[in-house]
Amino acid sequence: MRFDVITLFPDFLAQSAGLGVVGRAQEKSLFSLHGWNPRDYAEGNYRRVDDRPFGGGPGMVMLIEPLQACLAAVRAADPTPAPLIHLSPQGRPLTQSRVRELAALPRMILLCGRYEGIDERFLASEVDEEISLGDYVLSGGELGAAVIIDAVARLQEGALNDAESAAQDSFEGELGLLDCPHFSQPAQHPLGEVPDVLRSGNHAAIARWRRQQSLLRTWQRRPELLDEAVLSKADRKLLEQARQGLGD
């Protein structure tokens, strides 16, 4: 996988992709990451990348020319075709199923806006897809790019070791339910004890307890997720039993 990111802050992306699983995947060349700054392609001695919006109003708009020259350089750097994905509040919210589809691509170019956004004519002519991180105000698209790079890089073949990929599978398997509580050493602590079942060695009972905790937590904190989740008869029984336990 090759990621190209068009951003006024290329160093930010390089740092966030250098950590943990994603950092190791990059070291193993499971993906490459290339930052491109439109300011390097802005003409004139002020090298403008933005200007005031027609029609007035606050803030600035990113200009067409530097973005067009920058995108041309990005495409010239590697013959592999790639979609131009704009991180934007107007985009479709990112989902794990979209992440899995993106992870199958050989290359993607991520476009990060700043200021009030990008000249609509550039977007209309060059952007293949818009993806949003969610409905809140951010200062730029870079955090969205970092999220996509992290989520997609983890799915590259060889990025995760057996334990990590088991965890990934279980997260993906539980998509739609909240996670169960986790405990480690020490078993006894002033903050409380570790539930006995987790130390019982009875793997069926442990799996059952974890599923029940996920169901109970989801019901307590995000009941709307339960509406979409496909619950088995066993799940419903577990949830019912847990709710009785709470004497609700």
Ligand X SMILES: Cc1cccc(C(=O)NCC2(NC(=O)c3cccc4nocc34)CCCC2)c1
Which active-site residues does the annotation give?
A: 89, 116, 154, 169
Provide the minimum distance between the beta carbon of 89 and ligand X in the complex, in angstroms, as a whole number. Answer: 4
CA 125 to chain centroid: 26
The one segment of 30-38, 102-110, 139-147, 194-202 that binds ligand X by CB under 6 A: 139-147
The one segment of 135-143, 178-186, 211-219, 220-228 that binds ligand X by CB under 6 A: 135-143
CB nearer to ligand X: pick between 127 and 138? 138
Tell me phi and psi for residue 139, to 5 degrees: -85, -20
**Binding pattern to ligand X, positions 88-107, x when CB under 6 A?**
xx------------------
CA 215 to CA 67: how far, in whole Å? 48
The one segment of 24-32, 140-148, 197-205, 206-214 that binds ligand X by CB under 6 A: 140-148
Binding of ligand X by 38 (CB under 6 A): no
Q: Give start and end residues of each alpha helix (H) in the chain.
A: 10-16, 20-27, 64-77, 96-103, 120-126, 142-154, 162-173, 203-221, 223-228, 233-245
Binding of ligand X by 135 (CB under 6 A): yes
CB nearer to ligand X: pick between 69 and 138? 138
Pick one of 6, 17, 111, 133: the residue that binds ligand X (CB under 6 A): 133
Binding of ligand X by 138 (CB under 6 A): yes
Binding of ligand X by 87 (CB under 6 A): yes
User: In what helix (H) or strand (E) does residue 5 lie, and over which residues does it extend?
Assistant: strand 2-6
- What phi-psi label fits residue 101: left (phi over 0), alpha (psi between -120 and 50 degrees) or beta? alpha
C-beta separation of 151 from 99 below 8 A: yes
When CB distances to ligand X are compared, the closest residue is 144
Pick one of 23, 53, 140, 176: the residue that binds ligand X (CB under 6 A): 140
DSSP for 47-94, written as a single string: T--EEPPTT--SS-EE-HHHHHHHHHHHHHH--S---EEEEEEEEEEP
Binding of ligand X by 67 (CB under 6 A): no
Three-state DSSP state, 111: strand
Report how many residues bind ligand X under the rule CB under 6 A: 17
The one segment of 41-49, 111-119, 163-171, 236-244 that binds ligand X by CB under 6 A: 111-119
Pick one of 134, 158, 181, 245: the residue that binds ligand X (CB under 6 A): 134
Short-list 58, 60, 83, 79, CA closest to 6: 83
Binding of ligand X by 137 (CB under 6 A): yes
Query: Which positions touch ligand X (CB under 6 A)?
Result: 87-89, 113-114, 117, 132-141, 144
